[in-house]
Structure 1
Amino acid sequence: MNRRAIPEFDMSASGAEHLRRRGILAIHLLDSLRIDPRRLQPHFHEFYQVFFLQGSARVMLDFQDYRLRGTAAFFISPGQVHTVYPGRGMEGVTVSFTQSFFDDDAPPPSRLLELPFFFPDDAQPWLRLQPPQVPDIASLFRTLREEYAQALPDADLILRATLRLTLLQLARLYLRASPPRKATRARAIVRQFHAELEKHFRRETDIGAYASLLGITRNHLNDVVREQTGRSAGELIRRRRLLDAKRMLSHSDMAVSEIGYALGFEDPSYFSRFFRRYEGVTPSDFLEQFREKCQ
């Protein structure tokens, strides 16, 4: 069997091509699955995606299963392995977009990185909507879908404005459901640590290196991270490397030893021991189990 167990997909070939080239697509989720049934199997892509789902469904996101009954929004960050298994009576809209489409001419850093549900660390990547909230959010997704389908002049401008409004409204509801802790110096340090970790986790595994980047001591970084997250800084580094290993095992043609080298492990046997210690199975066993689950 080809080791490339999980494919990378482009946006669904539906609707106006010029809008997809700009980096936006909004269609019924079931239409997307009919156009390309392979999307019922785990896959990933390098753009953002939001599912607005109503009814019964199961969503697999980065090897975790989430079961839905009711109405919810799911948030997919670039690189995340995912799929949707529709249940009886499920309806929904899928909106795909690139960071460049969302940002347009806005200077960096991207506002996308300030939203609480993309690259969410330990936060949940979905929001269950309460009945009074559903009509307004459903209306926004309907506008996105209809504007995309009609593809009238200036559709990209209206789609961008509506997308930003939709995400900001969802962020407001998300934070209302899970209010963030009061902004403090400690929370700022943890956020900076996560940002640096996302940039350097493949090359840098030493806590001291991240402490230097943040201008604090190693012990202070570890104490603050543990206080705020319940985990040590070292554990968060290992968890991020483990997630990358699982993604690469799932959608790479590389051998296990090559993946180990790519992740900065000088010895393939050490990579296998690392993976087994924190995942409970060897890399080969993980891949076999995941293939069986996807059949």
Structure 2
Amino acid sequence: MQMLTSRQPVPIYPFERDEITGSNAFSLVRSEGALPYEADVLLPHRKAYYMLVFVKHGRGRHWVDAVPYVRKDHTLYFSTPTQLLVKEEPTPFWGTRLTFTSEFLALQQHAALRNLPLIQNPHHGHELLLTAADEAVVDDLLAKLDAEHRRPGEWQHQMLSAYLLVLLTYLSRLYTEQFPGGEPSADQRLLRTYQARVEEHFRELHEVSAYAALLHISAGHLSEVVKAQSGKSAIKHLHERLVLEAKRLLFYTPQSLKELAFDLGFSDASYFNRFFKRETGLTPAEYRATIRKMYQ
């Protein structure tokens, strides 16, 4: 597995225009082993879009947020724009790749999609295991999407949206089964909203009171609800998100500790060092040395 060797930030790859429809927001590609992979995916990167890959057959290993995944047949892999990805080698696969952007989800007709568990991905998951029955449903929906994708016309967008809603809803049900949760109450929705705001602002906002202000509630109420619903304090959620990002950067990039601390919103590298050790039991330098040695 390659690491970044320059001091530039982790690259973020933009959405590529769909070859069939010309869309800059939605794309679908069916592959029978001929789908090429660009060399740049062999370096740690993020994608500026959501991606679902249904693998009927494929081999190789890739990494998501420093977790290795040996690709399995009859499995669905998904990623969100925040996750850090890298492939070990260029390998073709047999299956379907579906991609769409945040702008696509922002359209009014896609409002129902934005809050689905698979899209929110509160557990930072990546792999969904499919039974034979699940695979049949997913494969059929992808075939229907592909047929509409190749059939331009007045109703194409509505049909694509309808099939996509069914597919992502079905996969979200599988997500909640494999990453247990349940139908959200008002307090659970507040927890998820808080987690979403942390995802958006963790680099610049390091105080629970700042998130309470964004949500127009008191810091005390926010802390009470988050603790009751998750078993962890609101500040713990924030700290865990900072640690996750720090681990990503320590593993995949050559950034100095000072640069990394600044990137995460810490004005003092020594404070970041103490923060990371308090949360993980290791200094950033110790973690970097340990994790890279483990996966050499």
Q: Name the TM-score class by shorter chain.
A: 0.7 to 0.9
How far apart are the structure 1 equivalents of 2:91 and 2:27? Answer: 28
- With 260-269 and 137-146 compared, the bigger mean Cα shift is at 137-146
176 and 258 in structure 1: CA distance in 2 versus 1, 3 angstrom threshold: closer
* Counterpart mapping for 1:150-229 below 5 A: 150=150, 152-153=152-153, 158-175=159-176, 180-181=181-182, 183-212=184-213, 213-218=215-220, 220-229=221-230
Q: 2:12 aligns with which of 8, 12, 17?
A: 8
Alignment-mate amino acid for residue 122 of structure 1: H
CA contact (8 A) 1:5 1:250 kept: no
Q: 2:99 aligns with which of 91, 96, 100?
A: 96
Name the residue aligned to 1:82.
85
CA contact (8 A) 1:196 1:210 kept: yes
How far apart are the structure 1 equivalents of 2:124 and 2:48? Answer: 21
Instruction: Provide the TM-score with structure 2 as the length reference.
Output: 0.76
195 and 8 in structure 1: CA distance in 2 versus 1, 3 angstrom threshold: closer
Please state how far the C-alpha of 1:94 moved relative to its aligned partner.
1.4
How far apart are the structure 2 equivalents of 1:188 and 1:270? Answer: 33
Please state how far the C-alpha of 1:54 moved relative to its aligned partner.
3.1
Residues 238-276 of structure 1: per-residue CA shift (max 9 Å, x gap): 111223334555677865423322422121221233234
Name the residue aligned to 2:245.
244
In the alignment, is residue 127 of structure 1 matched against residue 131 of structure 2? Answer: no
Alignment-mate amino acid for residue 240 of structure 2: R
CA contact (8 A) 1:10 1:45 kept: yes
Alignment-mate amino acid for residue 140 of structure 2: S
131 and 103 in structure 1: CA distance in 2 versus 1, 3 angstrom threshold: same
Please state how far the C-alpha of 1:81 moved relative to its aligned partner.
0.8
CA contact (8 A) 1:61 1:82 kept: yes
How far apart are the structure 1 equivalents of 2:9 and 2:286? Answer: 14
- With 202-211 and 253-262 compared, the bigger mean Cα shift is at 253-262
Alignment-mate amino acid for residue 275 of structure 2: F
In the alignment, is residue 65 of structure 1 matched against residue 65 of structure 2? Answer: no
Name the residue aligned to 1:271.
272
Count of paired positions: 289
Instruction: Provide the TM-score with structure 1 as the length reference.
Output: 0.76
Alignment-mate amino acid for residue 238 of structure 2: I
Alignment-mate amino acid for residue 24 of structure 1: S
106 and 132 in structure 1: CA distance in 2 versus 1, 3 angstrom threshold: closer
How far apart are the structure 2 equivalents of 1:11 and 1:31? Answer: 20
Alignment-mate amino acid for residue 104 of structure 2: F
159 and 70 in structure 1: CA distance in 2 versus 1, 3 angstrom threshold: same
Name the residue aligned to 1:111.
112
CA RMSD of aligned residues (A): 3.8
Alignment-mate amino acid for residue 49 of structure 1: M
Residues 39-96 of structure 1: per-residue CA shift (max 9 Å, x gap): 2443211111111123565442222234454522222111211245689996332111
80 and 124 in structure 1: CA distance in 2 versus 1, 3 angstrom threshold: closer
5+ long unaligned stretches in structure 2: none
How far apart are the structure 1 equivalents of 2:270 and 2:51? Answer: 37
How far apart are the structure 2 equivalents of 1:197 and 1:160? Answer: 29
Alignment-mate amino acid for residue 228 of structure 2: E
5+ long unaligned stretches in structure 1: none
CA contact (8 A) 1:93 1:145 kept: no
